């Protein structure tokens, strides 16, 4: 059954085995109604529902017709939640106005797998641009910008849906309100997304998060005990591999204590559209393009040149040296050799 196939009452005439094959989570509905075992009689599900005792229905406060309607509605809603936004191929940002009211000349389209860096001085308006994208602005924010989805204005459900958000934002501070072990959290999230291989998928996300984190953590580590870098690494891996949002906004990843290059490579591999606000030249040159923000508006759009990519290679080598120094300091080693020699890069 395709993702767009309408779910009708004809489905109830199928055997439970066939329904479960199509919708593995269907049994959860009856468990929630207190009707455990209803769907294991070997009859078509409709026959099971019509054969229910009236006293049983009165106890749970529902009629046979309502039970049928609620079950089909449950399947429809769950399928809508399960469906990823794979049809979203581009977002386009149309300019609004700068802080001084002058027009912002901008018509920029971002595609799957693109990485866009947003650079500029503190207070220039980088975070405001991310906020406009997050809310899919329609000339209704202080900047007057417009954000299009696949070249068209978004519908209300795309702007305001809680279940299927098009935009995921990773802020500088990641604070968990639940105190679950890491692996239990990943499994719960996988269940909410109706992932078929929950154990395997959770394990893959956990392994990837530890690849990104500067300091490893365990499956049973409580979320509230993760460091800032570990939390950010977990959320980047989770967003890349489990979130249905095709667009990812990142604010200041350089201070997060994660492997920045691996994080971006993971997001690109999962075909996310990535926009990141940064002051880090390494991250800025990792992007395909960078937006230069000044006075609340986009001053320039710069394509990363071949020469800049050559410089990026050298910057990565310097960054690797800095990571080595940090690790030495963390582990109590002395740094007594000439630092200039440490940074000398042979051809």
SS3 labels along the chain: CCCCCCCCHHHHHCEHHHHHHHCCCCHHHHHHCCCCCCCCCCCEHHHHHHCCCHHHHHHHCCCHHHHHHHHHHHHHHHHHHHCCCCCCCEEEEECCECCCCCECCCEEEEECCCEEEEECCCCCCHHHHHHHHHCCCECCCCCCCEEEECCECCCHHHHHCCCCCCEEEECCCCCCCCCCEHHHHHHHHHHHCCCCCHHHHHHHHHHHHHHHECCCCCCCCEHHHCCHHHHHHHHHHHHHHCCCCCEEEEECHHHCCECHHHHHHHHHHCCCEEEEECCCHHHHHHCCEEEEEECCEEEEEEECCHHHHHHHHHHHHHHHHHHHHHHHHHCCCCCCCCHHHHCCCCC
Listed range (4-18, 72-86, 135-149) with the worst mean pLDDT: 72-86
Angle at 160 between CA 188 and CA 189, to 5 degrees: 5
Question: In this predicted model, what pLDDT tens digit does every residue of 271-281 receive, in sequence order?
Answer: 899 999 888 88
pLDDT of 175 > 70? The answer is: no
User: Residue 152 has what pLDDT?
Assistant: 94
The structure tokens listed for 7 are: 């779910």
User: Residue 83 has what pLDDT?
Assistant: 55
Distances (CA, A) of 17 to 9, 11, 41, 252, 287: 17, 12, 11, 49, 49
User: Residue 255 has what pLDDT?
Assistant: 56
pLDDT of 80 > 50? The answer is: yes
Q: What CA–CA distance (Å, rounded) separates 88 from 248? A: 13
Q: Which CATH architecture has domain 90-304?
A: 3-Layer(aba) Sandwich (3.40)
The structure tokens listed for 128 are: 């405001």
Q: What CA–CA distance (Å, rounded) separates 314 from 324? A: 16
Question: In this predicted model, what pLDDT tens digit does every residue of 19-40 receive, in sequence order?
Answer: 877 787 777 787 777 776 665 5
Question: In this predicted model, what pLDDT tens digit does every residue of 288-309 receive, in sequence order?
Answer: 999 999 999 999 999 999 999 8
- Enter the pTM of the model: 0.69
Query: In the chain, where are the structural domains located?
Result: 9-82, 90-304, 309-347
The structure tokens listed for 17 are: 């085995």
**Mean pLDDT on 196-204:** 86
User: Residue 346 has what pLDDT?
Assistant: 47
Average pLDDT, the chain: 83
Is the distance from CB of 136 to CB of 169 less than 8 angstroms? no
């Amino acid at each position: 059954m395709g993702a767009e196939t309408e779910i009708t009452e004809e489905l109830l005439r199928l055997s439970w085995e066939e329904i479960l094959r199509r919708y593995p989570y269907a049994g959860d509905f009856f468990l929630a109604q207190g009707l455990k075992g209803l769907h294991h009689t070997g009859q078509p599900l409709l026959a099971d529902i019509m054969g229910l005792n009236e006293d049983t229905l009165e106890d749970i406060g529902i009629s046979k017709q309502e039970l049928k309607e609620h079950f089909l509605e449950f399947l429809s809603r769950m399928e809508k939640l399960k469906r990823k936004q794979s049809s979203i191929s581009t977002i386009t940002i149309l300019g609004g106005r700068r802080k001084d009211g002058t027009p912002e000349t901008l018509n920029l389209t971002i595609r799957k797998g693109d990485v866009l860096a947003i650079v500029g001085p503190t207070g220039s308006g980088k975070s405001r641009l991310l906020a406009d994208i997050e809310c899919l602005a329609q000339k209704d924010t202080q900047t007057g910008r417009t954000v299009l989805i696949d070249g068209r204005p978004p519908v209300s459900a795309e702007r305001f849906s809680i279940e299927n958000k098009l935009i995921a934002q990773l802020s500088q501070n990641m604070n968990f309100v639940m105190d679950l072990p890491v692996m239990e959290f990943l499994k719960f999230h996988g269940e909410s997304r109706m992932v078929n291989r929950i154990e395997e998928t959770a394990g893959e996300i956990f392994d990837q998060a530890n690849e990104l984190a500067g300091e490893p953590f365990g499956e049973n580590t409580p979320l509230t005990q993760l460091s800032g870098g570990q939390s950010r690494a977990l959320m980047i891996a989770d967003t890349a591999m489990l979130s249905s949002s095709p667009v990812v906004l990142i604010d200041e990843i350089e201070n997060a204590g994660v492997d920045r290059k691996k994080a971006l490579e993971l997001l690109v591999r999962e075909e996310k559209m990535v926009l990141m606000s940064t002051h880090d030249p390494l991250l800025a040159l990792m992007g395909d393009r960078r937006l230069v923000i000044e006075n609340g508006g986009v001053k320039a759009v710069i394509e990363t040149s071949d020469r800049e990519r050559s410089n990026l290679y050298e910057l990565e080598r310097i960054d690797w040296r800095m990571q080595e120094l940090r690790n030495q300091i963390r582990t109590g080693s002395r740094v007594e050799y000439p630092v200039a020699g440490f940074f000398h890069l042979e051809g």
